[in-house]
Structure formats: C-alpha cells, structure tokens
Amino acid sequence: MMERTYPEDNGRHAPTGRSGSDGMVTLGLRLLKLAARCGPNWVRHHVLPYRAEYDLRRHGPLYCGLYVTFRCNLACPWCVNPPLPAGLGLDDFEATPEAVARLLDHPLFRTVAHINLTGGEPLLNKNLMEIIRLIRRRGFLPGMVTNGTLLETRVADLRAAGIADVRVSMYGNTLDRLADILPKLRGKLPIATSYIVLGTEMRERPEAIEKAVRIAAESGSVGMRLNFYMPAGQCGDAELVYEDEPALADLKARIADRFPDFPIYWRPTVRRAISGSRDKTCRQPWENFHVDARGNLGLCCRYCFPSPRNGNLFETPLPELLNQPGLAKMRAGILDPGPLVPPECANCLYLSGGKAAPKVMQSPLPTLIRKKLATKPPTAAADNKSGAA
C-alpha cells in the first residue's frame, strides 16, 4: 500500500505531522516526486519482456523487504527464518538509522517505491520510528508487517513517524489477543491483515480460518490476504493446499457467504503439475528483493531470509549481485516455455501467482484505491470459468 491520508480523521491528521491543506499539499508533492522517480521503471516492468539476465537499465526493483531485526516475541512452527550464522548474535542484525541510510544510498534502491519493514517483529527494534522517518524523508513509502501483538501501545508513535501501511499477520496462536487489540486500532492506522492457511486446518477445522476472517472484518481491517502454506519451518508437506481440493472450494464458498462485503485476496495455491509458461507467472526475481541491515541479500519472497551466500550490497559488484547463479537459474526456469521448474521453485505459491490481477491486488497501492479495486472472494462458478480459460 502506498502513502495515504486518513479519511477517518476528516483531514485532522496527516502522517507527515501536518494537518489540513498543508498536509495534503505535502502529501501530493511527495507522491509526485515518487511517481517521477519510480514511474518509468514501473512502466518498463509492464511493457518490456523479462530476461534471465538482470540489467538495471531495463528493469529495476519495485519493492524491498528490509529486515530491521531478527528478534521476535513469537515462535511459530512455520517460520521461514533459519538460525543465525555462527559467531553472530541478534545485536549484529539490528538495524540502525545509520545502517539504513547506507542501504538507501545503494544504486539498487534508485527505482524502489515501497520498503516493507519486516523481521522478526519490527516493533522490537528500538530505532524503528527513526528508521520510518528516515525512509519517508528519502522519498520512499515505508510499510510494516507485524504480528500485531505489540501494536496497541505503538499506534501514536507509528502515526507520528509517518508509516504508510501496516499488515498484521494473524496466526492461530494470536487470534484471541488480536480480537482484543485490533478493534481498538480502528481508524487509527491503515491496517490490512493476512492469515496462513494450513492444509490440515482447512480440511479438519475450517471454522478456525473463518474465525480469523471474522476478527479481521469486524476490527475494521481494509482487507485480508489468505496465504497458503509453503514448506518451511517445522511443518511438513501435509500442510500443503492444492487448487483442486474440494475442501478449498468449500472454504471459499463458506467465506464468501459469511463475509460478502469484506475484501479478501486468496493467494494462489500450489499446483500439482506445471504444464508450461502459462503456469509460471512469478515476477518476484525481477520486482522484489530482501536485505538485512548488514547488506546481505535474500533471493526472493520464498527464500527471503538474507544471507552472505546470496551476495552483499556492499561487498559484491552490482552485475554479479543481480545475476548470481541462484537468481539467474530461477529467472531462466520461470521464463522457459516448457514444464521445467527450478528445484528452488518447487511447491512455491508464487510460481503461479504473478498474473496481472493478483499483481495489482498485492502491489503497494493507496488503500483507498485498493478498496475500489478489491473484489468479492471468487465464487465456485468464477473459479471454474477462470480454470477453463
């Protein structure tokens, strides 16, 4: 989501700390500058065909996931974050304003519009508000993904710092706490929500998923993204969800019936078979990158955890950084017209999740535009129609 004003406040508050017409003028100028800097690159992404070899003169990254901490107050079994490298501790990866400023000076950030602060739990970083202000001053849109359990006491700080959007990741072990916290934040922050759908839960306890959607809808969330599990952490392949499962069709119909007016985006599921290029629509290796405070790079949304093995912004020459063997192999496999799938992309939800409509829905658009674009959850008939196309 991009920067926005807060209509719930009737113009009395703007994220910049100004109010009324001054705040709107400042907001407008910032958006114009952002469009001038990033707009041409956005057009090139939608006009010029992708290539396995990455060239910043042809395409530049649109989004960045910035790890500001590896600390977390939860221990979810599906977490994708591996153990820290030997000899390094949590303090070594804690982002500071100085470290972030150095990152933002790197050429890889020249075309970036939206920086999503992640972790760990970002709110555990004592420098977070200063980092958000820095990102805003430098002309980027700062967003944050959080488990939401610490939000209640930080709302005023986040608003004053100028956060553009917040996404709360809801989990089964936090639903009761979030049912108490999120309603208190209504109208105070532009909050979207997400939930990881596990295969066994979908088949055996769909009411738990419905509970998460109900909490999000009743709390005033601007919308919800339902993500399906990818193999990670301590969970196994039994938690995978496939597109042809009857339980999935039943769940979609159930959610559509109970929450007809709540914007929900269903992530694509894992496909049992890839027939060719039409099933390989991922755009992450071209549009997105992840980085930590030390400059270590993450390969893509699935292998998002930054590691020196993937290259370092301050140590690896730029052409080599953008075209390291792992990334080049991913891009070549995605672009291959046949059914070939790179091993790194097997069982990845994003492999078939980069078509035009999902890209629009999950891109960092202003929340008000997102609301206009949001559609009701697809019906079974619509699913059948799209599957037959």
Give the tens place of pLDDT for each residue, 209-263: 999 999 999 999 999 999 998 876 566 778 889 989 999 999 999 999 999 999 9
What per-residue confidence (pLDDT) applies to 55? 93
Within 10 angstroms of residue 121's Cβ, the number of other Cβ atoms is 21
The predicted model scores a pTM of: 0.82
pLDDT at 297 over 60: yes
Task: Tell me the C-alpha distance between 255 and 264, whole Å.
Answer: 9
Report pLDDT for 354. 53
CB of 168 closer than 8 Å to CB of 151: yes
Mean pLDDT for 84-104 is 90
pLDDT of residue 60: 94
Strand order in the sheet with 165-170: 264-266, 224-228, 191-197, 165-170, 141-146, 114-118, 63-67, 288-292, 296-298, 307-312
Rounded Cα distance between 211 and 282, Å, is: 30
Q: Which token pair is 82?
A: 């591996």
Q: Give the pLDDT score at 24.
A: 63
Residue type, 65: G
**Residue 234 pLDDT:** 62
- In 3D space, the residue among 288, 267, 241, 265 whose CA is nearest the CA of residue 118 turns out to be 288
pLDDT value of position 331: 92
Residue 100's SS3 state is: helix
Among 133-142, 271-280, 315-324, the minimum mean pLDDT is found in 271-280
Q: How far apart are CA 2 and CA 112, in angstroms?
A: 12
Kindly tell me if the per-residue pLDDT of 366 is higher than 70: no
The pLDDT value recorded for residue 286 is 92
pLDDT band at 23 (very low <50, low <70, confident <90, very high): low
Segment 43-48 long-range contacts (CB within 8 Å, at least 24 positions apart): 45/283, 45/286, 45/287
pLDDT band at 181 (very low <50, low <70, confident <90, very high): very high
**Which comes out higher in pLDDT, residue 16 or 46?**
46
Window from 125-134, 226-235, 287-296 with minimum mean pLDDT: 226-235
The three-class DSSP label of residue 45 is helix
What's the chain's average pLDDT?
82
Average pLDDT, integer, range 274-291:
89
Chain centroid to CA 266: 14
Report for 89-98, 130-139, 325-334: range of highest mean pLDDT = 130-139
114-118/63-67 β-pairing:
parallel
Token look-up 């972790």 returns 119
pLDDT of residue 377: 39
| 225: its two tokens | 């993204």
